[in-house]
Structure 1
Amino acid sequence: MTSLLDAAQTAARLPYPALIEGLKRLLADESVQVPQRLVQPLPGGGSLFVMPALDARIAITKLITFTPANAGTAHPVIQGDVVVFDVASGRRLLVLDGPTVTARRTAAVSLLAAQQLAPATEGPLLIVGAGAQGRAHLDAFAQALPLRQVFVASRGAAGAQVLAAHAKDLGLRATAVRDPDAVLADCPLVVTCTPADGVVLKALPRADAFIAAVGAFTPRMVELGPDLCRHCAAQGRVVVDTPEARHEAGDLLQAGLDPAAFATLRQVVLGERGENRGPVLFKSCGWAGWDLAAARTAAG
């Protein structure tokens, strides 16, 4: 019998420590196959995503809609499901809540990158964007890193205040700020998770900064100023989540940088590419392999 899990049940099956271990195992698993995802534009500016992946044991498809116009309304920006099948029998095993999987696996990928690449994991942490991804990243980083302080910036002041209040509930000192560039010099940990319809961070980071940019996943989307991206490439290090970023990483492409020239998270985790120096920019575009790792974790 198929288990149909709601958001809370899906989250309960995806604790961040288990997700991190699941990501590491997936990156070392040669049986993993991830076909190119289908992104179908929809009337009104939304998109339909069809994202399959499989290994020797299970196959998954994430089927979600991404509707930026829903931001700030009663309707979620991301809606849909992750369906999990048994490879041997073809039987449907699980249906997971798609937005929960997306939020938690994305935050876990950023956290894994920070654990591998960030020189100063104690923070302070700057989060730009106070939606579902901002909250998931706050929860993940606060749980696994020795944070004490967080700054939150958002287009909507009320959203920033709500996320800052959540940070205080987690035992952190928290401040909502209007201009993220104004506090960038104080923050060695940075996450940008906005709708990526314009530059939200353009000041140059400190030498020990780790920036996880997760909002932009098409060539036209952008969160980071081009000078910031070029500075990290010249004075520090750029890492992308997967090779597919070569045609998706809008922040890098709009800065005139070739995403294919940079190491992937898999190469970093497996110790195959390079040493850290200067500020680190981790550009995450999303990948069905991350959803497969979450499904494997949830399935047990």
Structure 2
Amino acid sequence: MSHLLLLDAAATAARLPYPALVREIASVLGDPGVRVPARLVQPLPGGGSLFVMPAHDARVAITKLITFTPGNAKAGRPTIQGDVVVFDVETGERRLVLDGPTVTARRTAAVSLLAAQRLAPNSAGPLLIVGAGTQGRSHLEAFAECLGIREVLIHSRSGASANALADLARRFGLRARVVGDPDAALAECPLVVTCTPANAVVLKALPRDDAFLAAVGAFTPAMVELGPALCRHCDLAGRIVVDTRDAEHEAGDLMQAGLDVAGYPALADVLATPDAAPRGPVLFKSCGWAGWDLAAARAALLN
């Protein structure tokens, strides 16, 4: 019988380096044995939600069981809590229990990173991060490590959080500054990540022609970070790519802009049929998928 490893946040992060995560995400998208049922999202009293997200390939089965409690942000508590349980398909044994928030943060940033590597017209930066929570930190880490950016601009409703993330960026050797107007910052940033609670529009201005925007905060039809005009501009003047086909009923930014989400390619399509460098701004809409958690489990088993 194999020994079950119960990993805390630090141990989980140590098993999920970004280059390995990117490789496994691409591998999962090309693996015909991967199966990902629709996730269960159960509303809870008080405005939270319980997520049950299973997936498997020929060797590994996982279930992510997490709660999402938006109200925790005001109280200084984590908004995402839970675990990812990893099973051996052949024996049915549990192999790992990974920290759910750490998996969510790192695999989401790795998906954005993979999309930027394949789609960004200009990956040199500066990078604009809107939202300075856990996802802001993970995207900063991933883009700094693997895209080689040298400068980051940060906006957050919380000045303390923005300054803390800027301090972290400086410890990474980056130039960093906090900005009060993210719309104005779009003019100087070809790389943009929005990772807010997605309860209101945070970007309305039109991006640069060589911009890559990863919008990761909104994952239900009611959630939104990007203004409708921005989304429609990317549709007309550039390109929109979604993370998976599930975005057809989850991408609140695009749905509220009146766009036909079903008509956009998914990341798997981009990897399978790479084409010439995109012209105009690229909007990558990420909603989340248990396949990304399966990729994280595969990476964790290798490290």
* TM-score normalised to structure 2 length: 0.97
Once the two structures are superposed, the pairs formed by residues 200-239 of structure 1 within 5 Å of their partners are: 200-239=202-241
Say which SS state the counterpart of residue 217 (structure 1) adopts. Answer: coil
CA distance in 2, matches of 1:164, 1:261: 38
Distance apart, 1:274 and its partner CA: 7.3
Question: How many pairs are equivalent?
Answer: 300
Cα separation, 2, equivalents of 1:72 and 1:139: 24
1:157 corresponding residue in structure 2: 159
1:95 is matched with which residue: 86, 94, 97? 97
Which residue number corresponds to residue 279 of structure 1?
Answer: 281
Residue by residue over 1:100-131, the C-alpha shift from the partner in whole angstroms, topping out at 9 and shown as x without a partner, is 00000000000000000001111000000000
Q: Are the counterparts in 2 of residues 267 and 273 from structure 1 also a CA contact under 8 Å?
A: no
SS in 2 for 1:256: coil
Compute the displacement of 1:72 (Å). 4.0
1:257 aligns with 2:259: yes
CA deviation vs aligned residue, 1:40-90 (integer Å, no higher than 9, x gap): 111111110000000000100000000111114332010000000011111
1-structure distance, mates of 2:76, 2:96? 27
2:143 maps to amino acid: F
2:129 aligned residue: 127
Alpha-carbon displacement from aligned partner over 1:214-269 (angstroms, at most 9, x marks no partner): 00000000000000000000000000000000000000000000111001001111
Aligned to 1:141: 143
Deviation at 1:273, TM superposition (A): 6.8
Alignment of 1:25-64 (within 5 A): 25-64=27-66
Runs (4+) off by over 3 Å: 272-275
2:83 to 66, 74, 81: 81
**CA contact under 8 A between 2:121 and 2:279: conserved in structure 1?**
no
Question: Which 5+ residue runs of structure 2 have no aligned equivalent?
Answer: none
The 8 Å contact of residues 232 and 238 in structure 1, kept in 2 or not, is answered as yes
Q: SS of 1:276's equivalent? A: coil
Cα offset, 1:148, TM superposition: 1.1
Percent identity between the two aligned chains: 70
> Root-mean-square deviation (CA), in Å?
1.0
Amino acid at match of 2:10: A
**1:263 alignment partner, SS class:** coil
- 8 A Cα contact 1:7 1:97, kept in partner: yes
Which blocks of at least 5 consecutive residues in structure 1 are unaligned? none
The answer to whether 1:20 aligns with 2:22 is yes
Contact kept, 8 Å, 2:121 with 2:277, in 1: the verdict is no
Which SS does the other structure have where 1:21 is aligned?
A: helix
- Equivalent residues of 1:114, 1:121 under 8 A apart: yes
Contact in 1 for aligned 2:87/2:95 (Cα 8 Å)? yes
